[in-house]
A = this chain, B = another copy of it.
């Protein structure tokens, strides 16, 4: 928990139990949950939690670049604790979002090009291999 306290303090954001819980949740779950999932899971521990607090907290964490918003889904925003740059794969069958590590060599040019780029999002959509029945196992190299 100290980890999250520090992040908040470093950014000059007031430390509150709700904020810590939400940060911890995002950091520990690699599932890229939406607000409803975060809310319903955390409400088990803290029944007084308000969904508005989840929205407010995600908004401030985002403002300070602590979390990232994924627009990969068409119906709701997904949240990701911000680590190093990576891309995402959305399984259109089961809805899972998986981290994808791709280092695109063209990225640096884009980042230094004529546009001032603040965010980079790489989204792939398709069917995950669990949903394909784990039949084909093809390497990625």
A interface residues (Cβ-Cβ under 8 A, vs B): 69, 71-74, 77, 89, 92, 98, 100, 102-106, 109-110, 112-129, 132, 136-141
Contact = CB atoms under 8 A, between A and B. Distances in A.
Contacts of A129: 114-116
Contacts of A69: 74
A141 B126 CA distance: 32
B141 A115 contact: no
A36 to B, nearest CB: 16
B114 A140 contact: yes
Contact of A71 (B73, B114, B141): B73
Nearest to A74: B71
A128 B102 contact: no
A64 to B, nearest CB: 16
Contacts of A116: 126-127, 129, 132
